[in-house]
Amino acid sequence: MKTPLSSIIFFLIAGFLGAIGQYLYKSGAEKASGTFISFISNGRILAGVICYIAVMVLFVAAFKRGGELSVLYPLYATTFIWAAVISLWAYHIPIKPVNVFGALCLITGMYFMGK
């Protein structure tokens, strides 16, 4: 069975949304006081939850279209690449050569998993 392009695109979007969700969780946690109420009333944390709900919807839609798990799930690993880029943008955390090497390993692995 061949994985449809739409399923691949859905998983790539899910990878990006997963990284955005992680950023929103982190930035929301920085503003929360640590109480349950401060977590559930925090707009950034709630936006992160919405991102993760969207990720799950995209997963289901991709699988419904006939996507193969062994092809699609490695694409979700782009979340780690997006998280590094977002960290650079939001927190000025540099992307080091070892991070670039790791991203290249992820991309290479995703390529071979899809073969």
Checking if the pLDDT of 106 tops 80, the result is yes
pLDDT band of 1, cuts 50, 70, 90: low
Average pLDDT over residues 9-34: 94
Which of 46, 5, 45 is closest to 25 using CA atoms? 45
Quote the percentage of the chain above a pLDDT of 90. Answer: 65
Does the global pTM surpass 0.95? no
**pLDDT (tens digit per residue) in 34-53:** 888 999 899 999 999 999 99
Which of 96, 97, 102 is closest to 81 using CA atoms? 102
Quote the tokens at residue 6. 């739409």
Checking if the pLDDT of 57 tops 90, the result is yes
Torsion of CA 37, 38, 41, 45, to 10 degrees: -130
- Helices 69-76/5-31 angle, 10° precision: 30
